[in-house]
Structure 1
Amino acid sequence: MSDLPPKPPARADRVSLWRYMRLFREDILSAQPARLYHAWMAEFRTPFFRSYMVNEPALVDEVLKARPMDFPKSDRVGEGLRPLLGNSVFLTNGETWKRQRRIIDPAFEGGRLRDTFPAMWAAGEAAVARMGEGLQGPAAPMEIEEEMSHAAADVIFRTLFSLPIEADIAGRVFHEFRAYQRTQPILNAAAFVPLPRWLPRGHRAKTRETARNIRALITQMTATRMAEIEAGNAPDDLATKIMTTADPETGERFTTQEMVDQVAIFFLAGHETSASALGWALYLLARYPEWQDKLAQEASRLPDVADFAVVSRLKLTRDVFREALRLYPPVPMMVREATCPETFRKRAVKRGSQVVISPWHLHRQDRLWDNPDGFDPGRWHTDNGKTCMREAFIPFSAGARGCTGAGFAMVEGVLLLAMLLRSFRFERIEGDDPVPVAYLTVRAKDGIRLRVSRR
């Protein structure tokens, strides 16, 4: 067995546009040539637009941190996700986006993380109980991605709407989302060919149907919460906090329809990305059992009741979770658009060009990282690791448009990982290593199967 975790094969340096489009729709990771792990910048040409991948920290900072408003999110990605996400904060730009963030951000401030921690803990306990059912004797094969999706969705429902996933409407949303997630590629036809607004956007019928079903269920949940807020008996959770927060500049609050858009992205970002990261973290620990033993020892000191202070003591678990985010960043690529002519590395970038920032490639950039493809949680305490964490580690994006739930995700991921490792041992199945591909997030092509037994 190689001591390097798997990554997808790279394509040949030269392929036709149509071959590239087909590869891109199937999996954007293996559609890229191997040289991108070394390049500071690369240009992709199509008959309709130019695309530039920037893989140098200074350029990434320019786009994400120094001048984010000059590089808004590209509608070429938004076209593929709009049936589900509508006009959510993930897709908007300019003043609309600023207003949405002014209302949303207070719900995810540091103090609120402490408030949501008991709900995360309860979801972790439920995940342990669910996975432990029927586990007696020898280790049994288990599909880990499915289990982590269930656990992460439970966290979202409990923290957002004070509902366990066993609640009927929460379970229906989860079921519909499982049907949605692999019918929708990150990019559809509109990402490659400029289409007039009146033309269909190329969404699959099943994608449209499941998106409608999810949004109908979220509308029902949001309307119920609006009524509870008006009646004065709403629980003090994230949904209530967001729906009762007024824009400090205008005094306006989200309407029900606006809140549906935001709940859709909270569920997508908070459930899909966390499930991806947890699944890969458990696979890595099964592949490197010496690290699993270290984390299990650390987790053995967890208290029996929720205590927010424990998060700061799970130092090794946090290092491993960071390393999983580095090797398998849930969102592998982010696309921005140049709103004015630019010059990157002495190369002219025309207005309207697509600027691609790829955490997948930046996190494995061989000019920056020591042992870029290796699993090494100890790297975060080396000089190289500390430098790269500041300059080349962006699992949650960076700058003004950095993920508002990044702190939430780090607490959730570290806590659930520790709770699972306190109760179970995970073992790699020889010859059944997962192959990473990009659906909505970086997932395994055929799932992640591990043998699981009680500790």
Structure 2
Amino acid sequence: MDATPQPFIPPHPVPRTHVPSRLEVVRTVMRNPIELWGEPSYTRTHILARFLNETTLICNHPELIRHVLVDNQKNFRMARVRQLILRPILRDGLLTAEGETWRRSRKAMAPVFTPRHIKGFANMMKSRADDFLDRYRNRNEQVRDVAVDMTELTYEILAYTLFSDEVVTAGVDFADDVDRLLSTMGRVDPLDLLKAPEWLPRLQRVRGRATLAKFRKVVRDTMDARRAKRHESPDAVKNDFLTLLLDAEGPDGLTADEIEDNLITFIGAGHETTARALGWTLYLLANAPHERALVEEEIAQVLADGPPPVEWLEKMPKTRAAFEEAMRLYPPAPSINRMAVEDETITLKDGTRIDIEAGTTVLVMPWVLHRHRLYWDNPNAFMPARFWPENRDRIDRFQYLPFGVGPRICIGATFALQEAVIALALMLNEFRFEPTPGLAPWPVQRLTVQAQNGLPMRITRR
């Protein structure tokens, strides 16, 4: 008798079986874009179609994805709709900048995100995560919204490691304000889909302007405070991410506005992807006791052996695999949008020829790709063993894109993985997370894949 239980299949939209009307498309994209995709998106290697009066290419074939995002990425710039959503928030931050502006920012930040530098953050991550758990230690049992808690945890780790705890956040309720910002300004507006002029106000985003202004003030105050400290007590200034960006200011580096834009990118959104993935990981493990037991056993063994936290990522492959499987099922960034600059023809190795006209919207959708039936066995099931070391070679580099790929791959990917494993190890070694009655969170796409109405979970001491 097989003692391994059937894998847990978490909530997800059922693919459409009919072509939606124009009105249905608009309503669905406004409400929750990941509910739009139909059966062909999960079964075909690519789809070339007219979509809202423009040609759209949906890329699922790993070879095609590599061409668009790596081999000929210069012919595919950021799609207009994506920029209409993100640029009002991030302006020329790393996620939205293009061309020379993007290259300057990436070069300025690269030293902080080298493997050696990231390993240097491990003890700080452990210290801050351990401090965070004090809020769980004062009761034997409690119900908390884990989605909110993970937002606060990842922000506190980011503030400590990259900003030396010197982010000026007076008057900011961080988790609530991030949620308000993403639920207003981080949504597709009907005017975007209809290609209305940019000067026409998007009503949804008007509601988020006050929150965005609050975040912008946080960034400016933080920059001013650090500049003043550098002037008054230069020896007391830490050589952190904030210092690095301020040092890059100048005619051959970044402008003051670009520094502000990159700080708002990291403070307002940089931790958000890790927070969502951590919340989903805890939810998935809570509903898969067999998988949770494997992770808990691994964590207990490693912590008993006593290696420093910098070694946990390597020594806890099952913990890392659970986190990576959560990012497969609920990818933090569910869509990658590009637009073809010039006409071109792509011929795949199997002889398939794809003609792409200039102006074509090109979609690489991790949400669809990570659940595609051609590339994954039992694609809707939570099965962390896919990512165990002995199985990783079966996963094509271009069928799993939690951090993107190519020149614009997330600069903080290794930072996020290390942070996640350290946080999960501390949380799961000491506490048990259980679903509350009726908890079946619905995934909703904003900028990230969020759990509608949060993730209220019961937390007990182990």
Scaled by the length of structure 2, the TM-score of the pair is: 0.90
Q: Check 1:52–1:190 CA distance in 2 against 1; reply closer, same or farther (3 A cut).
A: farther
Aligned residue for 2:273? 273
Is the partner of 2:253 in helix, strand or coil? coil
Instruction: Report the alpha carbon displacement of residue 275 of structure 1 after superposing the two structures with TM.
Output: 0.9
Q: Check 1:384–1:425 CA distance in 2 against 1; reply closer, same or farther (3 A cut).
A: closer
Q: 2:362 aligns with which of 355, 361, 365?
A: 355
Contact residue 7 and residue 383 of structure 2 kept, 8 A: no
Aligned residue for 2:185? 184
Letter in 1 for 2:146: I
> Equivalents in 2 of 1:351, 1:378: separation in Å?
42
> Equivalents in 2 of 1:161, 1:315: separation in Å?
29
Q: Check 1:198–1:180 CA distance in 2 against 1; reply closer, same or farther (3 A cut).
A: closer
Q: Check 1:240–1:173 CA distance in 2 against 1; reply closer, same or farther (3 A cut).
A: farther
Aligned residue for 1:111? 116
Contact residue 312 and residue 421 of structure 2 kept, 8 A: no
> Equivalents in 2 of 1:129, 1:435: separation in Å?
29
Aligned residue for 1:73? 78
Aligned residue for 1:127? 132
Q: Check 1:383–1:412 CA distance in 2 against 1; reply closer, same or farther (3 A cut).
A: closer
Q: Where do 1:158-237 residues align within 5 Å?
A: 158-163=160-165, 168-169=169-170, 171-231=172-232, 232=234, 233-237=236-240
Is the partner of 2:460 in helix, strand or coil? strand
Q: Check 1:266–1:41 CA distance in 2 against 1; reply closer, same or farther (3 A cut).
A: same
1:343 matched to 2:348? The reply is no
Contact residue 186 and residue 439 of structure 1 kept, 8 A: yes
Letter in 1 for 2:246: M
1:391 matched to 2:398? The reply is yes
Instruction: Report the alpha carbon displacement of residue 378 of structure 1 after superposing the two structures with TM.
Output: 1.2
Contact residue 223 and residue 256 of structure 1 kept, 8 A: no
Q: Where do 1:284-433 residues align within 5 Å?
A: 284-300=284-300, 301-302=302-303, 307-344=309-346, 345-381=352-388, 385-433=392-440
Instruction: Report the alpha carbon displacement of residue 188 of structure 1 after superposing the two structures with TM.
Output: 2.4
Deviation string, structure 1 residues 133-153 (Cα, Å, up to 9, x no partner): 3x22xx433211111111111
Contact residue 365 and residue 372 of structure 1 kept, 8 A: yes
Instruction: Report the alpha carbon displacement of residue 132 of structure 1 after superposing the two structures with TM.
Output: 2.7
Q: Which shifted more, 234-243 or 70-79?
A: 234-243
> Equivalents in 2 of 1:364, 1:163: separation in Å?
39
Is the partner of 1:43 in helix, strand or coil? strand
> Equivalents in 2 of 1:84, 1:130: separation in Å?
32
> Equivalents in 1 of 2:197, 2:442: separation in Å?
37
Contact residue 89 and residue 212 of structure 2 kept, 8 A: yes
> Equivalents in 2 of 1:102, 1:171: separation in Å?
31
Q: Check 1:451–1:170 CA distance in 2 against 1; reply closer, same or farther (3 A cut).
A: same
Aligned residue for 1:150? 152
Q: Where do 1:416-455 residues align within 5 Å?
A: 416-455=423-462
> Equivalents in 2 of 1:315, 1:325: separation in Å?
15
Contact residue 177 and residue 214 of structure 1 kept, 8 A: no
Contact residue 79 and residue 201 of structure 1 kept, 8 A: no
Is the partner of 1:391 in helix, strand or coil? coil
Instruction: Report the alpha carbon displacement of residue 177 of structure 1 after superposing the two structures with TM.
Output: 2.1
Percent identical residues? 29
Deviation string, structure 1 residues 44-91 (Cα, Å, up to 9, x no partner): 424542222111101100011111121111231111122221111111
Contact residue 7 and residue 381 of structure 2 kept, 8 A: no
Contact residue 12 and residue 33 of structure 1 kept, 8 A: yes
Deviation string, structure 1 residues 274-293 (Cα, Å, up to 9, x no partner): 11100110011001112212
> Equivalents in 1 of 2:103, 2:433: separation in Å?
43
Contact residue 83 and residue 211 of structure 1 kept, 8 A: no
> Equivalents in 2 of 1:215, 1:270: separation in Å?
15
Question: How many residues of Structure 1 are paired with residues of Structure 2 in the alignment?
Answer: 448
> Equivalents in 1 of 2:353, 2:191: separation in Å?
30
Aligned residue for 1:241? 244
Letter in 2 for 1:187: V
> Equivalents in 2 of 1:385, 1:61: separation in Å?
19
Q: Which shifted more, 234-243 or 2-11?
A: 2-11
Instruction: Report the alpha carbon displacement of residue 316 of structure 1 after superposing the two structures with TM.
Output: 1.2
Instruction: Report the alpha carbon displacement of residue 328 of structure 1 after superposing the two structures with TM.
Output: 0.9
